[in-house]
Amino acid sequence: MSKLDAQPQLIDRFGRHVTYVRMSITDRCDFRCVYCMDEEMTFMPREQLLTLEEIVFVLRAFCELGVENVRITGGEPLIRRNVDWLFEQVGLLKHSTALKELNITTNGSQLPKYAKSMAESGVDRINISLDSLNPERFRELTRTGDLNAVLAGIEAAKQAGFKRVKLNAVIMKGRNDDEIIDLAQFAIDNDLDISYIEEMPLGHVSHQRDESYCSSDEVLAILQQAFELTSSDIQTGGPSHYYRVAGSKSKIGFISPHSHNFCESCNRVRVTTEGRLLLCLGQEHSVDLREIIRQYPDDIELLKQAIIDSMEIKPKGHDFNLKEEPIIFRHMSVTGG
């Protein structure tokens, strides 16, 4: 199929065009962030995961159906063996399909090893999670993470020549809300963008989500004490609403699933580590793509038809409630954040 043939073919019942896929390539991680995972986690048996070849096959199907933006995530994607091969193969889809942007979300710990080869394979943008600049607190929030390794990863990403490097910070009351300004200043000093994310009730964790919840409006009010911010209509394909910072190239974004529901303009679907196509992060509507590709391994047209048909069950929106026990038992690491 030539690039010109790639027409948007994924349109749901509400007229939303699906042009963005997030693919979780592993549920494992070298960190155990308190909002993302329980202290003790049981990971999926390896045979249940899509193989790297299957991941490329699934992404090819999506990109032949008009998907322009692929984000590789996890778990921690960079701890999957041979991940550099995956980036090479997915990068090549830019020549033959609708794919325009290949992006990744990572905790940064493995970037000194992979940043350069990823940029060479055509990875465009990279998001790095950073919730604290204090080494002890960083360790508390990630349970196992080493701040210095992540700072070295951020430096490696800056040197590698990606289109843009962005930080992601989940702000939690009483845990890191006193670092909101410092994190933004760090982004500005390093010519990076930063997005603040509202915590979502995905999977069981060891704290009460409603006690730690910090809204984007609260974060914004704190930032406005230190920076001159102007709301913008910048779009990067994701759900962030961005502000410009006077005197700086850095953008400050907010991902606000609770306070500013972005479902109306949702353009995305997710594929979980075991190949389940999830039509909404906050609902269970899904299609088992792994079953299809293992039964009919080379039939990309069949796979594409299943993806087209799935548009019929994409729900109108999510239904998060912080006060109730999670209705979504999947951790973010399985779903792909």
Give the x-and-dash track for 39-78 against ligand SAM (CB under 6 A): ----------------------------------xx-x--
Is 293 or 332 the residue whose CB approaches ligand SF4 more closely? 332
Closest CA to 253 of 270, 269, 265, 236: 236
Q: Which two tokens stand for residue 289?
A: 């793509």
Residues numbered 252 to 271 that lie near ligand SF4 (CB under 6 A) are: none
- Is position 129 an interface residue for ligand SAM (rule: CB under 6 A)? yes
- Chosen from ligand SAM, ligand SF4, none, partner binding at 19 (C-beta under 5 to 8 Å by type): none
Full strand arrangement of the beta sheet holding 125-129? 229-231, 241-245, 251-255, 193-197, 164-170, 125-129, 101-106, 69-73, 20-24, 268-271, 276-278, 286-288
- Is position 29 an interface residue for ligand SF4 (rule: CB under 6 A)? yes
Residue appearing with tokens 């088992």: 288
CB of 236 to ligand SF4, least distance (A): 20
CB of 323 to ligand SF4, least distance (A): 23
- Is position 272 an interface residue for ligand SAM (rule: CB under 6 A)? no
Rounded Cα–Cα distance for residues 337 and 268 (Å):
12
Rounded Cα–Cα distance for residues 175 and 102 (Å):
33
Residue nearest to ligand SAM (CB): 337
- 62-95 burial by CB neighbour count: b if 16+ within 10 A, else e? bbbbbbbbbbbbbbbbbbbeebbebbbbbbbbbe
- Is position 170 an interface residue for ligand SAM (rule: CB under 6 A)? yes
- Chosen from ligand SF4, ligand SAM, none, partner binding at 168 (C-beta under 5 to 8 Å by type): ligand SAM
Among positions 32, 175, 209, 241, the unique one binding ligand SF4 when judged by CB under 6 A: 32
CB of 118 to ligand SF4, least distance (A): 17
CB of 170 to ligand SAM, least distance (A): 5
Query: Which ranges of the chain would DSSP assign to H, the alpha helix?
Result: 52-64, 83-96, 111-120, 135-142, 147-160, 180-189, 209-212, 216-224, 289-295, 300-310, 332-335
- Chosen from ligand SAM, ligand SF4, none, partner binding at 32 (C-beta under 5 to 8 Å by type): ligand SF4
Quick count: other Cβ atoms within 10 Å of Cβ 315? 17
Q: Which residues bind ligand SAM (CB under 6 A)?
A: 29, 35-36, 73-74, 76, 105-107, 129, 168, 170, 197, 199-200, 202, 332-333, 337
